[in-house]
Amino acid sequence: MGYKNLLIVVDREGIAVITLNRPESLNALNMETMDELDKALTECEKNVTVKALILTGSGKAFVAGADITQFNALSPEQAKEFARRGQEIFNKVENFPHPVVGAINGFALGGGCELALSCDFLYASTYAKLGQPEVNLGIICGWGGTQRLVRHVGLPKARELLYSGEMIDAHEAYRIGLVNKVCDPQKLLDEVKAKLKLILSRGPLAVSRTKKIVNDTFKESLEKGLHNEQEGFSSLFGTEDKKEGVNAFLEKRPANFQGK
């Protein structure tokens, strides 16, 4: 099928590159793009020639985040469904039967960082910037960030990043174990493909079984944690702070939170 917001290329080794392609909005994830990503994952899983996935972005961003213009219209009930749907799609990334590597070419913030965290591992361009800035909007992560970031970098560092909403560069992300390698921007995809070609030379059943067992290590607690994240995310959509945070972002001004 054709895609409006994605580009998909499968090479002769069976590596599918899915590129988020809304560069005018820094590849922000609106629901149309999320639905396309869901369909692309299904298409790639059914395609017997696909042996691995690379997720990346066009232009200056991997994914700059969820499309904040959607947020003002969401009630708490709608926000819960928004969180559930995003978690469902990112779980699909995490549970894809073959290796999935994120090639973080630029900004990976908010929902973009959460998408990256759903990959098996990450290579980052020197231009990459990562973070979970949701608290700047008066909300929290809704697509798995509170759960997966802890698993990637450990509890104290995850707390620091989640509480502060600060953005970190590629070298700091490497230092704390969030990304596996920092690459020259021009060589990023080549570096990822080289690693995947090595992985694909190993026993494919063994690699897939290893992935499933590793993922299952955290599955029960992850499901409970994701439920708690949905509840926390949606509850904040009834607050004045959420309205102020989102409006301040859209109006490009500092937020004046009142704790209400």
Q: Tell me the three-class secondary structure of the chain, residue by residue.
A: CCCCCEEEEECCCCEEEEEECCHHHCCCECHHHHHHHHHHHHHHHHCCCCCEEEEEECCCEEECCECHHHHHHCCHHHHHHHHHHHHHHHHHHHCCCCCEEEEECCEEECHHHHHHHCCCEEEEECCCEEECCHHHHCCCCCCCHHHHHHHHHCHHHHHHHHHHCCEEEHHHHHHCCCCCEEECHHHHHHHHHHHHHHHHCCCHHHHHHHHHHHHHCCHHHHHHHHHHHHHHHHHHHHCHHHHHHHHHHHCCCCCCCCCC
Q: Is the pLDDT of residue 196 over 70?
A: yes
How much is the average pLDDT of 163-175? 98
Mean pLDDT computed over every residue of the chain: 95
195 vs 205, which has greater pLDDT?
195
Read off the pTM.
Answer: 0.92
Instruction: Domain 6-186: give its CATH superfamily.
Output: 2-enoyl-CoA Hydratase; Chain A, domain 1 (3.90.226.10)
Q: Is the pLDDT of residue 1 over 70?
A: no
**Residue numbers annotated as active site:** 114, 134
228 vs 44, which has greater pLDDT?
44
pLDDT tens, residue by residue, 101-132: 999 999 999 999 999 999 999 999 999 999 99
Q: Is the pLDDT of residue 16 over 90?
A: yes
**For position 220, what pLDDT does the model report?**
77
Least confident range of 93-107, 176-190, 236-250: 236-250
How much is the average pLDDT of 157-162? 98
**For position 217, what pLDDT does the model report?**
84
